[in-house]
């Protein structure tokens, strides 16, 4: 991968030798990821340390899963990195756990799902929304950015958070009332960028993306809605039939090192699932956890949720 301006001298210090199996200069790895910004921070040092060339294919989680399914007979990718464990579970027919069936997905990061990034300048004199119920108020028509559950894994998780907190029937009714107020961007990155620029007054997003806007100087505040948030682990997986499984395993091990995780946390403000990694300054240690019935959440079928979401969008 071509080095980017995000390759800091400090990252070079992370080069603790990986096993000699990675020493061959002609090795390569094709990574599908919805988390390119995070990988940009760590891939250059991995390439320098191992000699393994990493080619990234970046897209939203939904698009990546569709692509992997379409390519199942002749996979073009080797690894899927930085996606919700729940989505990995849903796609397990086309993915493999490196350590074998029944083992956990290799850890990558921990996302806080379902915060509101509020651009105070764009919001003007309107009240700051404090809950999902508030988002349904007509005063916010055309002011709320949402990525779309069919295109974005984080947007799908935000929707299932709402369904889990309210119950499916009440949750869909509330989403239907919120829908007229939404601008669907079809990209989680567009939600964040547009909210930071003031194109949207409110962006439904995740904690790390909202907090980074603040660090970058945008007039944004992070709202943890009254219904609470959920904390989701992101992981990685081998793509079944991929040609470079050994290289993928080496990358998974590299990404899980505490020192590498600390770079992701410090630069991208995403919490870590790896013990010993400290929170960035400014993030709350305690979060308002959403009350979701695990049994009810387990019954949600991703394909069915997306079909219903698209039916609402198109109606």
- For the chain, where do the domains classified as CATH 3.40.190.10 start and end? 9-109+233-268, 112-230+286-314
CA distances from 228 to 60, 71, 291 (A): 25, 38, 7
**Residue 235 is encoded by which pair of tokens?**
């992981």
**Residue 277 is encoded by which pair of tokens?**
């990694």
Q: Report percent pLDDT > 70 for the chain.
A: 92
* 1 pLDDT more than 80: no
**Confidence at residue 274, expressed as pLDDT on a 0 to 100 scale:** 93
Confidence of residue 86 (pLDDT cuts 50, 70, 90): confident
CA distances from 11 to 6, 16, 27, 46, 261 (A): 9, 11, 22, 10, 11
**Confidence at residue 26, expressed as pLDDT on a 0 to 100 scale:** 65
Quickly count: other Cβ atoms within 10 Å of residue 121's Cβ. Answer: 10
Q: Each residue of 264-291: pLDDT tens digit?
A: 999 989 999 999 899 987 888 889 999 9
Architecture of domain 9-109+233-268: 3-Layer(aba) Sandwich (3.40)
* 113 pLDDT more than 90: yes
Q: Which of 110, 193, 209 is nearest to 145 (CA)?
A: 193
pTM value is: 0.79
Pairwise CA distance, residues 238 & 94, whole Å = 9
Pairwise CA distance, residues 251 & 231, whole Å = 24
62/23: higher pLDDT:
62
* CATH class, range 112-230+286-314: alpha beta
DSSP state of 21: G
Helix axes 258-268, 36-50, angle to 10 degrees: 140
**Confidence at residue 48, expressed as pLDDT on a 0 to 100 scale:** 97
DSSP state of 101: T
Mean of pLDDT over the chain: 90
Contact 137, 43 (CB under 8 A): no
Dihedral angle, C-alpha 15, 21, 27, 31, nearest 10 °? -70
Q: Each residue of 169-185: pLDDT tens digit?
A: 999 999 999 999 999 99
Pairwise CA distance, residues 223 & 202, whole Å = 10
Q: Where are the alpha helices (DSSP H) in the chain?
A: 9-12, 36-50, 61-70, 85-90, 120-123, 132-135, 153-166, 168-178, 188-197, 207-215, 245-255, 258-268, 294-298, 302-314
Pairwise CA distance, residues 126 & 105, whole Å = 43
241-251 mean pLDDT: 97
Contact 303, 150 (CB under 8 A): no
């Amino acid at each position: 991968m071509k080095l980017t301006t995000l390759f800091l001298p400090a990252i070079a210090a992370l080069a603790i030798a990986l096993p000699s199996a990675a020493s061959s200069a002609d090795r390569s790895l094709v990574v599908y990821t919805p988390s390119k910004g995070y990988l940009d921070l760590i891939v250059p040092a991995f390439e320098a340390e191992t000699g393994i060339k990493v080619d990234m294919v970046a897209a939203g989680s939904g698009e990546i899963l569709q692509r992997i399914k379409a390519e199942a007979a002749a996979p073009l990718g080797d690894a899927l990195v930085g996606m919700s464990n729940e989505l990995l579970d849903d796609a397990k027919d086309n993915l493999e756990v490196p350590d074998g069936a029944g083992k956990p997905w290799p850890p990558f990061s921990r996302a806080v799902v379902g915060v509101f990034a509020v651009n105070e300048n764009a919001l003007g004199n309107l009240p700051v929304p404090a809950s999902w119920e508030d988002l349904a108020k007509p005063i916010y028509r055309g002011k709320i950015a949402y990525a779309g559950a069919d295109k974005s894994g984080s947007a799908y998780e935000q929707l299932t958070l709402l369904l889990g907190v309210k119950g499916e029937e009440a949750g869909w009714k509330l989403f239907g009332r919120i829908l007229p107020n939404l601008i669907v961007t079809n990209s989680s990155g567009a939600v964040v960028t547009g909210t930071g620029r003031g194109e949207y007054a409110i962006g439904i997003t995740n904690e790390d993306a909202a907090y980074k806007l603040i660090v970058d100087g945008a007039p944004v505040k992070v709202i943890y809605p009254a219904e609470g948030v959920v904390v989701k682990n992101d992981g990685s997986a081998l793509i079944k039939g991929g040609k470079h499984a050994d290289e993928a395993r080496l990358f998974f091990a590299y990404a899980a090192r505490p020192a590498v995780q600390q770079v992701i946390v410090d630069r991208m403000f995403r919490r870590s699932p790896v013990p010993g990694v400290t929170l960035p300054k400014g993030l709350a240690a305690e979060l308002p956890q959403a009350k979701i019935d695990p049994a009810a959440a387990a019954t949600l079928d991703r394909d069915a949720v997306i079909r219903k979401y698209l039916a609402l969008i198109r109606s």
